[in-house]
């Protein structure tokens, strides 16, 4: 089924296989980042904890004024991860910035049982940067804090995001 979606100047391409995120501007590679996707197999199904594939758009961007390492709970900034207890720091936290994704393919990553937006799938920072490059997330695309802050400044809502298993 063809989609009626206009191209955007900025496109993010996420390769689950290589654990890389590529920023294309006007069709040319601008930046390349190492990321981490889900420890489970990629999946668009609700409650699978897999990174969803297919065409997405940036729905919302959260945290533009927060310091690097700020922890978000329910998309609300709480405190810097170093201010948490050692036990709390063991969790894989959402830090620094949130780029929330919305699926654009009905029945694939949009709609009942498959909805990326309702699954709260983000591109975000993590307090476990040492794991970047290996598959360990609960479905999100995780980045080093410096990298997510840099990327956040270069993209905006409605820019396209293609997530592929290749």
pLDDT attached to residue 5:
84
pTM, to two decimals = 0.95
Query: Residue 132's CB: how many other CB atoms inside 10 A?
Result: 18
Tell which CATH architecture fits domain 17-164: Beta Barrel (2.40)
Cβ burial 113-123 (10 Å sphere, 16+ → b, else e) = ebbbbebbbbb
pLDDT attached to residue 7:
87
Rg over alpha carbons for the chain, rounded to the nearest Å, is: 15
Band the pLDDT of 6: cuts 50, 70, 90: confident
Band the pLDDT of 4: cuts 50, 70, 90: confident
Structure tokens at 45: 């199904």
Domain boundaries along the sequence of the chain: 17-164
What does pLDDT average to over the chain?
96
């Amino acid at each position: 089924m063809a989609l009626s979606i206009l191209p955007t100047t900025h496109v993010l391409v996420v390769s689950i296989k290589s654990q890389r995120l590529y920023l294309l501007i006007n069709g040319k590679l601008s930046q390349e980042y190492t990321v981490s996707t889900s420890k489970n197999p990629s999946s668009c199904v609700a409650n699978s904890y897999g990174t969803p594939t297919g065409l997405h758009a940036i729905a919302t961007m959260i945290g533009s004024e927060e310091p690097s390492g700020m922890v978000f709970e329910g998309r609300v900034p709480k405190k810097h991860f170093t201010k948490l207890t050692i036990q709390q720091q063991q969790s894989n936290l959402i830090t620094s910035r949130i780029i929330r994704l919305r699926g654009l393919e009905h029945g694939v990553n949009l709609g009942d049982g498959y909805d990326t937006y309702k699954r709260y799938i983000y591109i975000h920072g993590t307090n476990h940067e040492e794991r970047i490059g290996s598959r360990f997330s609960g479905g999100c695309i995780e980045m080093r804090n410096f990298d997510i802050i840099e990327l956040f400044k270069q993209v905006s809502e409605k820019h396209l995001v293609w997530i592929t298993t290749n």
